[in-house]
Amino acid sequence: MDFGVIWTAVGSIAAVAAAVVAIVQAASARASKRDAAKSLQAAENARDESVRLAGLATAAFIRQADAQEKANVLKEAEMTPPTWTGPRWVQGDMYRFTNTSGRSVKLETIGFDPDEASSGVRLLAASDGGVYGDKQSFDLMYRRDVPLSPRGFILTWRYLNEPDGEPKTSTLPV
């Protein structure tokens, strides 16, 4: 055989082998590209699920924080002494109401339940300007044996150091 033919045959075989290797590599590259696309899609799905779960966790945390805040308010109210105690019988038809809040308060109004019972009630001893320090009291005289005696007293007041705050109401049953 001629040396040139051999080289041509070897070159042809090498070209065919190179073409086969290129085809195999192209197929492998396409498979890798498909796998990469699947992995990208899975990563995007995982990211979206993570964002969704983070949103749920944040919402749950906010609900828990709100519930804890409400629990704290309730616990504080439970631990806080009532602002007013009474009516406590003093003598005869006289009853005493005492500020037990631990703070100075300004008594704004005294209401009655029912309203019509006010005709049988007299304020006997009151603080100047309606301001009562802790443990200070005022006395009311009312008769319990008349048809329209009060069933309860409605005290409207503010803490002295919060003059612009909303007035608070304490309803004290007789």
Predicted confidence (pLDDT) per residue in 2-51, tens digit: 777 888 888 888 888 888 888 988 888 898 989 899 999 999 999 999 99
> Is a pLDDT exceeding 70 seen at residue 145?
no
Per the structure, the count of domains in the chain is 2
CA atoms within 13 A on the CB side of 38: 6
Q: What pLDDT score was predicted for residue 87?
A: 85
Q: What pLDDT score was predicted for residue 118?
A: 65
88/168 same-domain check: yes
Q: What is the pLDDT of residues 85-113, one digit of tens each?
A: 888 888 888 888 899 988 889 888 888 88
Highest mean pLDDT among 46-55, 115-124, 165-174: 46-55
Domain of residue 60: give its range.
1-80
Of the residues 23, 46, 80, which one is the last residue of a structural domain? 80
125/60 same-domain check: no
13/76 same-domain check: yes
- Mean of all residue pLDDT scores within the chain: 84
57/135 same-domain check: no
Sign of the CA dihedral with 142 first, then 144, 146, and 151 last: positive
Q: What pLDDT score was predicted for residue 123?
A: 67
pTM, two decimal places: 0.52
Lowest average pLDDT, out of 63-72, 86-95, 138-147, goes to 138-147
Q: What pLDDT score was predicted for residue 119?
A: 67
Q: What pLDDT score was predicted for residue 127?
A: 65
31/68 same-domain check: yes
CATH number reported for the structural domain that contains residue 166 in this entry = 2.60.40
> Is a pLDDT exceeding 90 seen at residue 60?
yes
| Closest of 157, 92, 100 to residue 122, by C-alpha | 92
Q: What pLDDT score was predicted for residue 124?
A: 65
